[in-house]
Chain A
């Protein structure tokens, strides 16, 4: 189950971080 947890963590975590980076860049562009 460790491989499955790692797969889900990378998939959802990675996309979450990318979404966060878009939000951050948008915030900077608005300033």
Chain B
């Protein structure tokens, strides 16, 4: 396979930006006036949640919708949906873990049945159910169609998660970076590190998705070869 320059650069650039986020987040940015060093989790938790909810799950939901639409239906869409959903599941688990680590010292509890936390956990369960559903059926077309419908149903949860901090009185904070008037609440190196983390983790998603997709293609090729060999074997048995 001929790799384009962007494909070749994706991995190294992602690793450099993640290393930069790590360094800036832990050593360069100053402690926050209110939260102290705990604010350093700002460069990890929101970026992971952003990828889990919007980038990764969004990709899976759009690919599922494109699969269900006859004009764009293809095995590629089904594979993209599957792979993006798997990546999203990992990110959502890490969102809950890093959020919990932040919650313990700031709220005093590891977990609260807060609207934002609960709706995020429900989406995580939907994603695990999606992955289980894919394993429950061997017919590729039926599996793809059922999974796509399930992903669309699960997508209803995303706006609920997004607006949960506005709709209910939540322990989880509301919009932190921008005020309602669009004014910035975070400044300087803290703001740039926050944006860098969002960009770096988004690139990581695309890198992981591409790698995961290639595994799926390799598996499909291997399955085809195994099927051809089994058919050839049966034909030989028929000759004798």
Q: A residues touching B (Cβ–Cβ < 8 Å)?
A: 1, 3-4, 6-8, 10-12, 14-15, 18-19, 22-23, 25-26, 29-30
Contact (Cβ within 8 A) B208 A6:
no
The B19-44 residues at the A interface (CB cut-off 8 A) are: 22, 25-26, 37-38, 40-41, 44
The 8 A-B pairs of least Cβ separation, nearest first, read A29-B218, A7-B101, A11-B44, A26-B215, A7-B41, A18-B90, A4-B40, A22-B211
Contact (Cβ within 8 A) A10 B101:
yes
Contact (Cβ within 8 A) A4 B41:
yes
B219 is contacted by which of A3, A10, A29 (Cβ under 8 Å)?
A29
Given the complex, which residues of A lie within 8 Å of B214, measured CB to CB? 26
Q: B residues touching A (Cβ–Cβ < 8 Å)?
A: 18, 22, 25-26, 37-38, 40-41, 44-45, 48, 87, 90, 93-94, 97-98, 101-102, 104-105, 204, 208, 211-212, 214-215, 218-219, 222
Contact (Cβ within 8 A) A3 B105:
yes
A7 to chain B, nearest CB (A): 4
> Contacts A10-B97, A10-B98, A14-B90 known; A3 to B211 CB distance under 8 Å?
no
Contact (Cβ within 8 A) B218 A30:
yes
A22 is contacted by which of B40, B215, B222 (Cβ under 8 Å)?
B215
User: Who on chain B is nearest to A16 by CB?
Assistant: B18
Q: Chain A interface mostly helix, strand, loop or mixed?
A: helix
Contact (Cβ within 8 A) B208 A19:
yes
Instruction: Report how far A15 CA is from B94 CA in the complex, Å.
Output: 8
Given the complex, which residues of B lie within 8 Å of A10, measured CB to CB? 94, 97-98, 101
Instruction: Report how far A16 CA is from B98 CA in the complex, Å.
Output: 15
User: Who on chain A is nearest to B219 by CB?
Assistant: A29
User: Who on chain B is nearest to A29 by CB?
Assistant: B218
Instruction: Report how far A25 CA is from B216 CA in the complex, Å.
Output: 9
User: Who on chain A is nearest to B94 by CB?
Assistant: A14
Instruction: Report how far A23 CA is from B44 CA in the complex, Å.
Output: 24
Given the complex, which residues of A lie within 8 Å of B44, measured CB to CB? 7-8, 11
Q: A1-B37, A4-B41, A11-B48 are known; give 19 further A-B pairs, CB within 8 A.
A: A3-B41, A4-B38, A4-B40, A6-B101, A7-B41, A7-B102, A8-B40, A10-B101, A14-B94, A15-B208, A18-B87, A18-B208, A22-B208, A22-B212, A23-B211, A26-B211, A26-B214, A26-B215, A29-B218
Instruction: Report how far A25 CA is from B219 CA in the complex, Å.
Output: 9
Given the complex, which residues of B lie within 8 Å of A25, measured CB to CB? 215
Given the complex, which residues of A lie within 8 Å of B48, measured CB to CB? 11
Given the complex, which residues of B lie within 8 Å of A4, measured CB to CB? 26, 37-38, 40-41
